[in-house]
Each structure stands twice: as structure tokens, then as C-alpha cells.
Amino acid sequence: MAKSIFERLGGEYEQQGDYLIPRLTVPAEEDRSISIWGRWHLDYLKQYRKVTYTYLLTSGKLNAYLADIDRQAQERSHRLIENTKKKHNA
């Protein structure tokens, strides 16, 4: 039997009863901690940007993306606090 496009691209099937089911896995991603900013953005993605959330989740890039958003938000927050301190001589 000729190989399907899925098999030619390295995919594998698993037999379950009379059916061949594609063996799909989500790529492993590095576990990076995220704080409140990342969690808020995750909630935003789930609620308003479902396609983007699904893409990031299934491609294994969600945690890295959220960690980057979290880092950027923390840096901006610190910058705003420092600028406010300078402005008000605190």
C-alpha cells in the first residue's frame, strides 16, 4: 500500500480496533515560570484569541511565549515605577 502524505512526513499510525488513528503528540517545551502578567495574558488568549492560543499550545511555544510576555511586562512595570519615582523625587 502506498504511503500517505502523513507517513511520508514522518507521521505514524496506531491501530485501534479496525481503525488506524494518527499518533499525534504535542512537542515538549521548556517549563519556564510565569507570574501574574503571563497568567493574565494566558486568560486573554483563551478568551479572545482562541486560534492564537491553540496554535501556540499545539506547536509547543505557549510557555516560552508567555514567559517572554511576562518578562516584558515586568520590565515595563519596573521602568514606569522608576520614572514615577524620579518625577516625584521619591
Supply the pTM of this predicted model. Answer: 0.69
Q: Is residue 10 part of a domain?
A: no
Residue 13 lies in a domain: no
Instruction: Write out the three cell numbers for 61.
Output: 511555544
Q: Number of H helices and number of E strands within the chain?
A: 4, 2
Q: Is the distance from CB of 14 to CB of 23 less than 8 angstroms? A: yes
Question: Is there a domain that residue 8 lies in?
Answer: no
Domain range for 38 is: 27-87
Note the helical H segments in 1-61. Answer: 5-8, 36-48, 50-59
Q: What is the pLDDT of residues 22-54, one digit of tens each?
A: 887 777 777 788 999 999 999 999 999 999 999
In a domain, 79, yes or no: yes
**Residues 32 and 67 sit within 8 Å (Cβ to Cβ):** yes
Asked whether residue 81 is assigned to any structural domain, the reply reads yes
Q: Does the residue 65 lie in any domain?
A: yes
Q: Does residue 38 belong to any structural domain of this protein?
A: yes
Is the residue at 5 inside a domain?
no
Q: 1 pLDDT exceeds 70?
A: no
pLDDT for 42 equals: 96
Number of separate domains in the chain:
1
Spatial neighbors of 63 by CB under 8 A, at least 6 apart, are 29, 30, 31, 32, 34
